[in-house]
Chains A and B, each alone.
Chain A
Amino acid sequence: MQPQLKSKVRCADREVGEVTKVIMDPLSHEVSHLVVSMNGSGERQVSIAIVQAVTEDLVQLRSSSSEVIALPPFKREDYVTLHEVEIPGLERHIHVESGEVLVPLPELERNVERRTFFANLTYVTGLFIGLPLVYPVLKFLMNPMYASLDNRWLKVGNVAKVKAEDVGTQFQYKRRVKEAFMPESEIEKNVWVVKATPSVLEKVYQGKDMEFRDSAGKPIWTNKKDVPFLAFSGKCPHLGCGFKWRNHKVLGPVFLCPCHLSIYDASGKVLDGPAPRPLDLMPIQVSSSGEVQIIDMEFKAGTKSQTRIV
């Protein structure tokens, strides 16, 4: 039984007063002391250790009344109330019985049946509002995600810029884009052109022409195996960075991506680094006057197979 407020306190010899406050230990959440008002002669703080027995309205102490009166007076300023301090989990753990404080249940709330039904009805109403919104919201957000592919030929420069065989030459070009509500604008892109020797051509085409198809599977262009000009997409097939043509100490002149150090030879083959596939070839045609045209294509990076996304 826990000591209660207002309980009478009796010492070994006589009754000395009543419990006015209960002091608890903030760590153990147990009652550590009782504060006893000594029938008009101040308050004393009594350790729970000298409590012998607790009954409904009486706390029996082991000590004598003179011993209790001899204790120093209780110092209120050394304590705070439970309302002034944060003690985690106190409500769940407190073991001080202060009696129950009750509030009457409103008349209308007595004997209400089907509480679960009404709770569930709330959820159903929520679903009724929420579910029809899922599809429109998803479509709303997904609207621009899948754009159709553009197979126009773009002029990127003159082949006279290519000075040597099996060497990467960057052609920068501008591409006009019209994105959603935005005014039409130009973005800068680049493509690498290689004038390939027959051995490099053989490595690239392996004796077969290379056919490009649109998303419906219709052929749009064929790179002939004996045309010496190759166009590589400027996007590294590893993670999409822009690569460069560099002299490597060991491997000689190569395509090198500064991001994750993938290295490719002039045929686009991976020589070193993390790239999962060779550089991406694009449709290229060179007119008799040397004008280079390409179909701008971008492929998903990081995959072994080629998936066109632009």
Chain B
Amino acid sequence: MSDIPPSAGPPATVAEKIFAFVDERVGLKQLTAKMLNESVPGGSRWAYVFGSILLFIFIMQALTGVLLMFYYVPTADHAYASTQYIIHDIDYGWFLLSYHFWGSSAMVVCVFAHMSQVFLWGAYKKPRELIWLVGLALFALVMGFGFTGYLLPWDQRAFWATTVGVEIMDKVPVIGDFMARFLKGGPTPGQMTLSRFFVIHVMVLPAALIGLAGLHLFLFRCAGPAGPFRGTPVELKAKTDYFFPRQIWKDVVGMAVVFACISALAFWEPVVLLDEATPDPGDYHPEPEWYFLFIFQHLRLRMFSGELGQIFGSIVGPGLLGLVLVFLPFFDRNPERNIFKRPIALIGWVVLTASILLFTVSAIINREFLD
């Protein structure tokens, strides 16, 4: 609490005077203290950095996204040209666009890490069920960001990822056709699709994410951090520290590392557009972004062939997995949080992670056999 000026005596410097002025009106000192002095049972850890990192990545995505919108035009006849303009003609346009692009990948990686940490630590259990549920909704939003943002450059990669992605949505029984047409704004991808994806990407999803992330944090503060899964209350109490400074220090280091990684990727692997979008793929082999590759690849399996197989592979399977995650804190009511004493949870996580890796890698290997 060394950053808060002492309450005794009249404020001396201008900064202190401003602080005192605001503090008198909004109780800034108490607010800051409440924000920073949150007990972390068992002490700060590197494993806890992912939530803060996700917030950081989101803020950077919002900033770079707003900057890109200074030049980007969401129309079928100018989206591609304006994106090329950003890349080739605007100072540092290539960097900001590439940062935004790689930032989305970083987001997905950190969401996976964050969810895995919560799952393995058993931190979704009572009384933290609501945090978990809101977290799942946030996960869905992040995937939605990835999917809608991918179309905006309006190149062949964008067009075909959207074509296939929306066709998958079309497979939802009964309402699939409506959903797909609603999203496309017509029978096939075109201007209406671009308009819709744009407004969803820059308005609807950010508004939803800001609201839900706020709720996520509020619920987290209501329940408090879960802490480690080992150790008696006395041991945990002995190691407890506050969010500031040790945990914040770790979070900040994590953010710096993530920033460096995204910047490095943007620098050495900047975004290069393919040809402008058109319903003739030419020599291009459609493929979604890497974090959707495992879904793409598993639909190649023979067991998911035919109309029914496809519904199972693309809707029922992922839908069931989603439902299991939603209901997880309600049927897993064993208070045991130690992952080494929860064999089903551990095996489930390992199998899911391994199969995602397996399908992703096999999709990448498959590429060379296609030409």
Contacts and interface: CB of A to CB of B under 8 A. Distances in A.
Interface of A: 26-28, 80, 83-89, 141-142, 144-147, 172, 177, 179-180, 182-183, 185, 187-190, 234-235, 238-242, 258-261, 273-276, 298, 300-304, 309-310
Given A189-B279, A300-B177, 12 more contacts: A27-B236, A85-B37, A86-B224, A144-B186, A180-B191, A241-B281, A242-B160, A259-B285, A275-B305, A276-B305, A302-B167, A302-B171
Interface in B272-292: 278-282, 284-287
Contacts of A189: 278-280
A84 B167 contact: no
Nearest to A83: B30
B302 interface: yes
Rank and list the top 9 A-B pairs by shortest CB-CB distance, nearest first.
Answer: A88-B224, A242-B281, A274-B305, A84-B33, A309-B187, A258-B285, A188-B280, A276-B307, A85-B37
Interface residues of B, number: 62
Contacts of A298: 187-188
Contact of A80 (B35, B37, B304): B37
A179 B310 contact: no
A303 B307 CA distance: 5
B358 interface: no
A241 B75 CA distance: 23
Contacts of B41: 27
25 contacts: A26-B237, A27-B237, A84-B1, A84-B33, A86-B34, A88-B223, A89-B224, A145-B178, A177-B190, A183-B77, A190-B280, A239-B164, A239-B310, A241-B160, A241-B281, A259-B164, A260-B299, A273-B305, A274-B299, A274-B304, A274-B309, A303-B307, A304-B306, A309-B188, A310-B188
B169 to A, nearest CB: 10
A86 B221 contact: yes
Contacts of B33: 80, 83-85
Contact of B170 (A27, A275, A301): A301
Given A141-B182, A273-B300, A276-B307, A147 B187 contact: yes
A276 B281 CA distance: 22
Interface in B176-232: 177-178, 181-182, 184-188, 190-192, 221-224
A241 B286 contact: yes
Contacts of A274: 299-302, 304-306, 309-310, 313
Contacts of B281: 241-242
B170 A302 contact: yes
A240 B287 CA distance: 12
A30 B281 CA distance: 69
Nearest to A143: B185
Interface string B62-80: 0000000000000111000
A66 to B, nearest CB: 31
Given A27-B233, A80-B33, A146 B181 contact: yes
Nearest to B156: A242
A295 B1 CA distance: 75
A240 B370 contact: no
Contacts of A275: 305
B280 A86 contact: no
Contacts of A147: 186-187
A84 B186 contact: no
Contacts of A172: 280
Contacts of B307: 276, 302-304
Nearest to A89: B222
A260 B313 CA distance: 12
Interface string B298-340: 0111101111011001000000000000000000000000000
B241 interface: no
B163 interface: yes
A225 to B, nearest CB: 27
Contacts of A242: 160, 279-282, 284, 286
A100 B159 CA distance: 65
A88 B242 CA distance: 13
A182 B77 contact: yes
Nearest to B311: A302
B310 A259 contact: no
Nearest to B313: A274
A190 B305 CA distance: 25
B271 interface: no
B139 to A, nearest CB: 24
Contacts of B171: 302
A300 B41 CA distance: 55
A249 B370 CA distance: 12
A28 B234 CA distance: 11
B105 interface: no
Contacts of B191: 179-180, 182
A144 B185 contact: yes
Contacts of B287: 259
